[in-house]
Amino acid sequence: MKNILLLNGSKAFAHSLGRLNDTFHDAAVELLSNTGFNIRQTKIDAGYDVQEEVENFLWADLVIYQMPGWWMGAPWTVKKYVDEVFTAGHGSLYASDGRSRSHPDQKYGSGGMIQGKKYMLSLTWNAPEEAFVDPAQFFEGKGVDAVYFPFHKANQFLGMTPLPTYLATDVIKAPAVNTTLQHYREHLAQTLGFECPKPATDK
């Protein structure tokens, strides 16, 4: 995987200024560029050309979504992006829903045209980690990927497969930005198979 599309889903809204997700996005751009990956990036809330984004998906080996968790899912700006770009990709990102009267063995969701490409979610939440993994807490122990099940399926409809999700938790009540950013860098390095640089403060 040499070509990476970084999608910045930060959004200034209500009490959120969007700065944390901008910071995560910028850290990924710096790390991956310095490691030799080819980078394209889009800040969704700044506007985009739909057809150019379709071409970005065709170019990319990996798409990374950086976004906050809002009301149990992606911000509406990111959902709008997916609706517009994926729909415009009919005939290049996906052919159909996959079913065929002449081939009844073909199942719904098998019509994606970008098989072999990967995607990854990088998410920031105010909720603590235990809210996702403890069966007695809010998400009933189902984990963050269950929260994003429809979002995962939208990407898989195109034929893409997921890489492990990165989840930054408790980012408002117990922020630890530098530590969390380093954990994200390490997650990228481990997932993509390169050595993560040590923090500048380490000797």
Each residue of 9-36: pLDDT tens digit?
998 876 666 689 999 999 999 999 999 9
Query: What six digits make up the tokens of 147?
Result: 């929260």
Q: pLDDT tier at 107 (50, 70, 90 boundaries)?
A: confident
Burial letters for 130-167: b for 16+ Cβ neighbours within 10 Å, e otherwise?
Answer: ebbeeeeeebeeeebbebbeebbebbebbbbeebebbb
Give the pLDDT mean for 78-101.
93
d(CA 41, CA 33): 11
Tokens coding 64:
């990374």
* Secondary structure element (H or E) that encloses residue 173, with its range: none
Q: Give 100 or 190, the one with higher predicted confidence.
A: 190
Q: How confident is the model at residue 203 (pLDDT cuts 50, 70, 90)?
A: very low
Which of the two residues, 153 and 107, has the higher pLDDT score?
153
Mean pLDDT value across residues 105-109: 82
Residue whose pair of structure tokens reads 């976004």 in the numeric block: 67
User: Which of 16-20, 89-93, 158-162 is the least confident region?
Assistant: 16-20
Question: What pLDDT shows up at residue 98?
Answer: 80
Residues 9/78, Cβ–Cβ less than 8 Å: yes
Mean pLDDT of the chain: 92
